[in-house]
Chains A and B, each alone.
Chain A
Amino acid sequence: MNLTLLLLPAIIMFIVSFLKNEKVKYLLAFTSFVILVPIIELFLVPKPYNVFGSYLIADKLDTYVLLVSSIVGIGVTLALLTLDKHVKVSPKAYRKFYRFFAIFWIGLIFSILSNHMGIYWIGLELATLSTVYMIKTNYTPAAHKEAWNYMIVGAIAVSLILFGVILMYASAKPILGEEAMQFDLLLAHAKEIPSPFLFEMGFAISTIGMFVKMGFFPMNLWLANIERASFYPVAALFSGILESAVVVGFFRFSKIAMEVNYNHLFIFVFVYTILTIFIVSFLIFRAKDFMRLFSLSGVEHMALIVIFWVSGAPFAALLHFGAHAFLKPALFLSTGVLESRGKYRIAGALRGYKGKRGQLFWILVSLFLLAIISLPPSPMFFSELYGFGAMISTAKESDHMLAMIGAILFLLALLSIIFYRFVSIYQSMKYEGKVEEKTVYASELFALVIFAVSLMALLLPASLSYLKSIA
């Protein structure tokens, strides 16, 4: 019953996408809210809760990630209602976008809830493949090229994940048999794995696959180029749902890897993420359009989430993850309006809004822009405080304290470059350029309001204590 309700909005969307009546899309905006019913139910039941045998199990982490990604799904469904008002899209492409969005959503619900490495991978692959066509709905040569790019690089990334999964499965199969695919059993028997080296090798390969998918070093620009070429809701889905599913996989794999050998995991992830942020910070400094700017900033935040998680600050990682999952889709969806007078016009993008809708829009976008660079009272401000605190504690306990403190200071210097760039862009958006009138539609504004309310809800004491209980 619960699983059916979880999948219901996506199934309705899939069926409705075959109807040629254009008004029917308004129905989807209402049906997407249905997903909240089973999620609220999941919050109330004792966890871990078996959604579908031992294959799909909802624990506290899954339920939280599912809620966050579902809110993003609802927001995107609302914003999709006015897609044709901002970009040129044929009715056929529009319908196909909905069809593949539905498959994407189903795949990721399976991935997020999976307690099985195989099902996790299948869901992720399904989402990857459906994204390819969502990119292609923009009938331009650039989008066509990037759809192929995504098909190939995405397939390589997902194949690396499967390769690692097979090695991890092989390492634990002698003690667990076919059940070595299950995350909970692997975690419980992590210390008994007969060949830890094999497991670690599998974990490293899988992690590289996941990092490639999130745009980490050395594939820093591929995601930004794809998001630039495709319609803006695709970028919102990437940052809010796809990356959530990828990062939840990393959380699960790394929890087991921590039990196997924490030091190896920490050094590997620490070096990888610092390298990623080093490159991304300079790319952000050179970014000349909103989509690339937000996309690269997404890579930076995913790197921070990963580094906080392995530094022993899961609370900070989860808070940062939730805040990022609401802020980034909100910013991506607002680019539909911000770029309505030209793709590369940053100057004056926050000017020219009239009426109550317009006023509310620019205020919300300003707040989102300032929140993404962690200005208080953004949840990111608190998550970074906790996260860097945990990193310093880990550094104190390590044998290479000075090197690690140096690395943390280096990281802060890189973050300050990003901070400077965002502040400068905000000033240009608000105080420079010509005043040109821009139209804001009710549905997209409603989506932004939902994200803003969700963001504020993250800071409620009940939410914070829930996140602490996951950690």
Chain B
Amino acid sequence: MVDFLIGLFLASLIVALFTTRLFRLLLWYSMNSLMLGILALSIGNSIDDKAMIITGIMTIVIKAIGIPFVLKNLSQKFHFVRQIIPEIKVQYAIMLVPAILVFTFYLSEPITHMIHTNANYVAISISSLFLSLLLMMEHKNVAPKIVGFLSMENALFLLGITATNGMPMLVELGIFFDLLMAIVVINLLFHKEELKV
């Protein structure tokens, strides 16, 4: 089950890299967050960690539903350009994504020997981090860059769940708070600048 969810997590991020429409990108971000939330619920349930279950529920509510909804509203309010063509051509991106995956598995090999629980997942979270960075780099528009930044938070969250079996609750709450603050700041940044987006 966990393998399946992690596979879907990675797949939704890879599909997001090739998306050329903004709302579709938000949908894939939402899917990515949903998989992460279910994963947290699943791991939390198996190790009987209530804090992780709460985190999983919060992830689904805030990241899978709340943030995509807010971003969609923002995009309508400020008339974002909805056609988002990546700067890197598809044929090159198709080669780049597996290269990143292979590279990160190689890079994280010494680490995976040291973490006995969910060892390969650490490699996947590192690759998700690189893929999110790629998402930020391959677009000139601001909206996909924001989604890239949010996906990066998801990659870190995945690392927190898999490498450490969950971070302390206080830290998880702090990260959520900062994420909400980021959305507030992003909203403020768009104000009165709609023509330049």
Q: Give residues in A with beta carbon < 8 Å to B.
A: 55, 116, 118-119, 121-122, 125-126, 129-130, 132-133, 136, 139, 141, 144, 147-148, 151-152, 155-156, 159, 162-163, 166-167, 169-171, 173, 178, 181, 194-195, 197-198, 201
Are A201 and B189 in contact, with the CB atoms below 8 A?
no
In addition to A126-B178, A155-B182, A162-B156, 8 A-B residue pairs with Cβ atoms within 8 Å of each other are A119-B171, A125-B181, A139-B192, A152-B136, A156-B149, A163-B129, A169-B167, A195-B114
- Of A130, A139, A156, A170, chain B has the most CB atoms within 10 Å of the CB of A170
Contact of B168 among A156, A178, A195 (CB under 8 A): A178
The interface size bin for chain B is 35 or more
The distance in angstroms between the C-alpha atoms of A181 and B114, with both chains bound, is: 19
Residue among A133, A141, A152 making CB contact with B145, cutoff 8 Å: A152
A197 in contact with B175 given A126-B181, A166-B156 (CB within 8 Å) = no
B25 within 8 Å of A by Cβ? no
Q: How far is the CA of A151 from the CA of B152 in the complex (A)?
A: 13
C-beta contact mask, B136-171 vs A, less than 8 Å → 1, else 0?
Answer: 100000100100010011001001100111011011
A156, B133: Cβ atoms closer than 8 Å = yes
Which of chain B's residues has its CB closest to A123's CB?
Answer: B174
The main secondary structure of chain A at its interface with chain B is helix
CB <8 Å contact, B171 and A122? yes
Contact of A159 among B152, B164, B170 (CB under 8 A): B152
Is there contact, CB below 8 Å, between B156 and A163? yes
Neighbouring A residues of B168 by C-beta, 8 Å: 118, 178, 181
- Establish whether residues B115 and A170, one from each chain, have CB atoms under 8 Å apart when the complex forms: yes
Q: Does B1 contact A (CB under 8 A)?
A: no
Contact of B189 among A132, A155, A194 (CB under 8 A): A132
Whether the Cβ atoms of A125 and B178 lie closer than 8 Å is yes
Contact with A along B166-197 (1 / 0, CB 8 A): 01101100110110011001101100110010
Contact assessment for A151 and B189 in the assembled complex, using a CB-CB cutoff below 8 Å: yes
Query: Please, how many angstroms separate the alpha-carbon atoms of A122 and B145 in the complex?
Result: 22
Determine the distance from Cα of A220 to Cα of B141 in the docked complex, in whole angstroms. Answer: 24
Task: Tell me the nearest residue of chain B to A180, going by C-beta.
Answer: B164
Q: Given that A141-B196, A152-B149, A156-B152 are contacting pairs, would A133 and B167 also be in contact in the complex, using a CB cutoff of 8 Å?
A: no
Q: Known contacts A133-B188, A147-B189, A148-B189: does B196 contact A122 (CB below 8 Å)?
A: no
Q: How far is the CA of A144 from the CA of B188 in the complex (A)?
A: 11
- Shortest CB-to-CB span from A199 to chain B, Å, is 10
Q: Which of A130, A144, A162 has the most CB of B within 10 A?
A: A162
- The answer to whether A159 and B153 have CB atoms under 8 Å apart is yes
Once bound together, how far apart are the Cα atoms of A162 and B192, in whole Å? 32
- Whether A155 contacts B167 by the Cβ 8 Å rule is no
- Whether B110 and A197, one on each chain, are in contact in the complex, defined by CB atoms closer than 8 angstroms, is yes
Q: Which residues on B sit within 8 Å (CB–CB) of A136?
A: 188-189
Which A residues are CB-close (under 8 A) to B74?
Answer: none
With contact pairs A141-B196, A144-B196, A201-B111 given, residues A132 and B163 touching in the complex (Cβ less than 8 Å): no
Q: B196 near A170 (CB under 8 angstroms)?
A: no
Kindly provide the distance from the CB of A226 to the nearest chain B CB, expressed in whole angstroms: 14
Q: Are B170 and A119 in contact (CB under 8 A)?
A: yes
Which 4 A-B pairs rank lowest in CB-CB distance, beginning with the nearest?
A: A118-B171, A122-B174, A195-B114, A170-B163
- Contact A122/B156 with A148-B189, A166-B164, A197-B111 known, Cβ cut-off 8 Å: no
Q: Which residues of B contact A125 (CB under 8 A)?
A: 178, 181
Which A residue's beta carbon lies closest to that of B169?
A: A178
**Interface CB pairs A-B, < 8 A, 21:** A118-B167, A121-B174, A122-B171, A122-B174, A126-B178, A136-B188, A141-B196, A148-B145, A148-B189, A155-B152, A155-B182, A156-B149, A156-B152, A166-B156, A167-B111, A169-B167, A170-B163, A170-B164, A181-B167, A194-B114, A197-B110
Q: Are A132 and B185 in contact (CB under 8 A)?
A: yes
Chain B residue nearest to A110 (CB atoms) is: B174
Residues on A with beta carbons closer than 8 Å to the beta carbon of B115: 170, 195, 198
A20 CB, nearest partner CB in chain B, Å: 19
How far, in angstroms, from A117 to B75 measured CA to CA in the complex? 35
Answer whether A166 and B163 are a contact pair too, CB < 8 Å, given A122-B171, A122-B174, A122-B177: yes
Most chain-A CB neighbours within 10 Å: which of B136, B160, B185? B185
Q: Which residues of A contact B164 (CB under 8 A)?
A: 166, 169-170, 173
Docked pose: A130 CA to B177 CA in angstroms: 13
CA distance A132 to B149 in the complex (A): 15
* Contact A155–B149 (Cβ < 8 Å): yes
CB-defined contacts of B160 to chain A, threshold 8 Å: 166
Query: B162: nearest residue on chain A (CB-CB)?
Result: A170
Q: How far is the CB of A446 from chain B (nearest CB, A)?
A: 32
**B142 contact from A126, A141, A148, A162, Cβ within 8 A:** A148
In the assembled complex, which residues on chain A have CB atoms less than 8 Å from the CB atom of B136? 152, 156
